[in-house]
Structure 1
Amino acid sequence: MKVPYAVSENSRIAYQCSSAMRDSGGERHRKVHAEELDWDKRSPASLRYYALLSLSRVLHRINPLDRILKQDIDMIMDLYPVDIPLKFSVPFIQVEHYWKRAFEMKFPSKKELAVSYWKGKYLATYLQEYMETIKPDVFLEDEARLTSRLVSPYVYQLRLSQLQIVRQPLPEVCFENEIVDTCPYSVQLACDHIPLKPIVELLYNLEELSLIFGVNSSLENYEERLFEFSVADIDSLCMGLKNLHHIRVLRINRSNLDCVKVKVLLQHLLKKDSIEELDFSHCKIGNHGMKALGGFLYMHTNLKVLRISNNRFDEEGVRGIAYALQSKPAAPIELLDFSLNIMSLECATMFAAAFVRCKEKPQTLIVNACGLYGASAEKMAGILSLNRGLKRLDIAGNDLSGEAEKTLITALEQNRNILKINLLLTKISTETQQKVNELLERNRHLVGVERAPSAEIPLLYLNEPEYLVWEYNPNNPKHVPGRYPARVAEYGAVRCRGVRQVPIKLAKCVSGRVQCRDP
Structure 2
Amino acid sequence: MQQPAARHRSTAIPSLYPPLAVGPYCTHRVIEDPEWCLATVPHLTELCLQHIAHNFEKNPILDRLLPEHRRKVLDRLSTGLPLAVTANLISDENYWKRCCTGRWQACDISNYGESWKRMFFERHLENILKCFIPNTTDPNQVLELIPLCKDYVRKLEVDQFLPPVQVDQKEESDDLSDSESDFEFGKAPVHHYDLGALITALPHLEELHLTYGVKGCGMNFEWNLFNFTHQDCSNLALAVKKCYNLKVLKLTRSKVDDDKTRMLVRNLLDHPCLVELNLSHNLIGDKGAQAVGKLLNRSRLETLNLCNNQIRHLGAQAVAQALAENSTLTSLNLRLNQVEDEGGKALGHALLTNTTLKSIHLGSNNLSEPTATIFSQVLALNTTLTRINFSCNHLGLDGGKQLLHGLAENKALTEFDLRLAEVGQETEYLIHQIVWANREAVRLGSLQHPPAEPR
TM-score range, shorter chain: 0.7 to 0.9
Kept in 2, the 8 Å contact 1:166–1:190? The answer is no
Which residue matches 1:475? none
Kept in 1, the 8 Å contact 2:153–2:204? The answer is yes
Max radius of gyration: which structure? 2
- TM-score (structure 2 length as normaliser): 0.77
- Partners of 1:45 and 1:64 lie apart in 2 by 25
Kept in 2, the 8 Å contact 1:409–1:435? The answer is no
Aligned with 2:400 (options 383, 388, 405): 405
Which residue matches 2:32? none
Q: Which amino acid aligns with 1:367?
A: L
Task: Trace 1:249-264 onto structure 2 (pairs within 5 A).
Answer: 249-264=248-263
Gap change, CA 1:257 and 1:44, over 3 Å in 2: farther
Q: Which amino acid aligns with 1:352?
A: G
Which residue matches 1:291? 290
Kept in 2, the 8 Å contact 1:201–1:242? The answer is no
Identity of aligned residues (%): 23
- Equivalent residue of 2:59, what SS? coil
Gap change, CA 1:383 and 1:193, over 3 Å in 2: same
**1:349 CA displacement:** 2.1
Kept in 2, the 8 Å contact 1:169–1:190? The answer is no
- Partners of 1:51 and 1:158 lie apart in 2 by 41
Which residue matches 2:104? 107
**1:390 CA displacement:** 1.9
Alignment partner of 1:191 is 2:190 = yes
Which residue matches 2:4? none
**1:214 CA displacement:** 0.6
**1:248 CA displacement:** 0.6
- Equivalent residue of 2:156, what SS? strand
Q: Which amino acid aligns with 2:251?
A: I
Which residue matches 2:227? 228
Task: Trace 1:250-399 onto structure 2 (pairs within 5 A).
Answer: 250-298=249-297, 300-326=298-324, 328-329=325-326, 332-356=328-352, 358-398=353-393
Gap change, CA 1:53 and 1:425, over 3 Å in 2: farther
- Partners of 2:210 and 2:41 lie apart in 1 by 49
- Partners of 1:155 and 1:113 lie apart in 2 by 13
- Partners of 2:410 and 2:57 lie apart in 1 by 68
Kept in 2, the 8 Å contact 1:417–1:443? The answer is no
Kept in 1, the 8 Å contact 2:109–2:116? The answer is no
Kept in 2, the 8 Å contact 1:201–1:239? The answer is no
Which residue matches 2:61? 64
Gap change, CA 1:71 and 1:438, over 3 Å in 2: closer
Gap change, CA 1:142 and 1:442, over 3 Å in 2: closer
Kept in 1, the 8 Å contact 2:252–2:278? The answer is yes
- Partners of 2:331 and 2:41 lie apart in 1 by 61
Q: How many residues align?
A: 391
The superposition leaves residues 33-53 of structure 1 with CA deviations (integer Å, 9 ceiling, x where unpaired) of xxxxxxxxx989956666544
Structure 2: gaps spanning 5 or more residues: 1-37, 171-182, 447-455
Kept in 2, the 8 Å contact 1:377–1:398? The answer is no
Which residue matches 2:157? 159
- TM-score (structure 1 length as normaliser): 0.68
Kept in 2, the 8 Å contact 1:374–1:404? The answer is yes
Q: Which amino acid aligns with 2:378?
A: I
- Equivalent residue of 2:264, what SS? helix
**1:155 CA displacement:** 0.8
**1:305 CA displacement:** 1.1
**1:419 CA displacement:** 4.0
Alignment partner of 1:76 is 2:68 = no
- Equivalent residue of 1:158, what SS? strand
- Equivalent residue of 1:313, what SS? coil
**1:420 CA displacement:** 3.5
**1:144 CA displacement:** 2.1
**1:274 CA displacement:** 1.0
- Equivalent residue of 1:215, what SS? coil
**1:381 CA displacement:** 4.7
- Partners of 1:197 and 1:438 lie apart in 2 by 48
Gap change, CA 1:51 and 1:340, over 3 Å in 2: farther
Which residue matches 1:21? none
The superposition leaves residues 59-104 of structure 1 with CA deviations (integer Å, 9 ceiling, x where unpaired) of 2321221233333333332322222221111111111011011011
